[in-house]
Amino acid sequence: MTITKTAFGQTPDGQTADLYTLTNGNGMKVQITNYGGIITSIVVPDKNGKFEDVALGYDNLADYIKNSPYFGALIGRYGNRIAGGKFTLDGKEYKLFINNDPNSLHGGKKGFDKVLWKAEPVEGADVVGLKLTYLSKDMEEGYPGNLNATVWYFLTRDNELQIKYEATTDKPTVVNLTNHSYFNLAGAGNGDVLDHVMMLNADRFLPVDKTLIPTGELRPVKGTPFDFTTPTPIGKNIKADDEQVKFGNGWDHAWVLNKPKAGELTLAARVVEPTSGRMLEMYTTEPAVQFYSGNFLDGTTVGKGGKPYKFRYAFCLEAEHYPDSPNQPKFPSTVLRPGETYRQTTVYKFSTK
Residues that bind ligand BGC (CB under 6 A): 69-70, 80, 212, 252, 290, 292, 296, 318
In whole angstroms, how close is the CB of 70 to ligand BGC at the nearest point? 5
Kindly give, in sequence order, each residue whose CB lies less than 8 Å from that of residue 48, ignoring residues fewer than 6 positions away.
none
CB of 91 to ligand BGC, least distance (A): 30
What does the alpha-carbon distance between residue 77 and residue 178 come to, in Å, rounded to a whole number?
Answer: 9
**How many Å apart are CA 250 and CA 236, to the nearest integer?**
11
Tell me which residue of 316, 254, 248, 300 sits closest to 72, measured CA to CA: 316
Distance CA 205, CA 188 (A): 28
Strand partners, 174: 335
- The nearer residue to ligand BGC, 22 or 114, going by C-beta atoms, is 114
Nearer to ligand BGC, 128 or 314 (CB): 314
Residue 148 and residue 29 in contact, taking contact as beta carbons nearer than 8 Å: no
Q: Give me the least distance between CB of 248 and ligand BGC, in Å please.
A: 8
Catalytic-residue membership of 180? yes
**Closest distance to ligand BGC from the beta carbon of 103 (Å):** 10
Find the helix or strand (DSSP H, E) in which 16 lies: strand 16-23
Q: Out of 141, 160, 318, 320, pick the active-site residue.
A: 318
Nearest approach, Cβ of residue 59 and ligand BGC (Å): 20
Cβ proximity to ligand BGC: between 140 and 320 the closer is 320
- Is residue 318 flagged as an active site residue? yes
Torsion from C-alpha of 119, 294, 321, 174, nearest 10 degrees: 60
User: Catalytic residue among 52, 140, 160, 180, which?
Assistant: 180
Q: Which is nearer to ligand BGC, 70 or 350 (CB)?
A: 70
Of 69 and 235, nearer to ligand BGC (C-beta) is 69
Nearer to ligand BGC by Cβ, of 79 and 142: the residue is 79
Residue of closest CB approach to ligand BGC = 292
Phi, psi dihedral angles at 112 (to 5 degrees): -65, -15
Judged by DSSP in three states, 162 sits in strand
Helices (H), 53-187: 61-66
DSSP structural state of residue 341 = -
Please classify residue 146 by burial: count the beta carbons closer than 10 Å to its beta carbon, then call 0-12 exposed, 13-18 middle and 19+ buried. middle
Cα Rg of the chain, angstroms: 19
Distance separating alpha carbons of residues 351 and 168, to the nearest angstrom: 35
> Do residues 24 and 128 make contact, with C-beta atoms less than 8 angstroms apart?
yes
Selection from 93, 97, 91 nearest residue 109 by Cα: 97
Q: How far is the CB of 352 from ligand BGC (least distance, A)?
A: 28
Q: Of 169 and 290, which has the nearer Cβ to ligand BGC?
A: 290
Least Cβ distance, residue 138 to ligand BGC (angstroms): 26
Catalytic residues: 180, 318
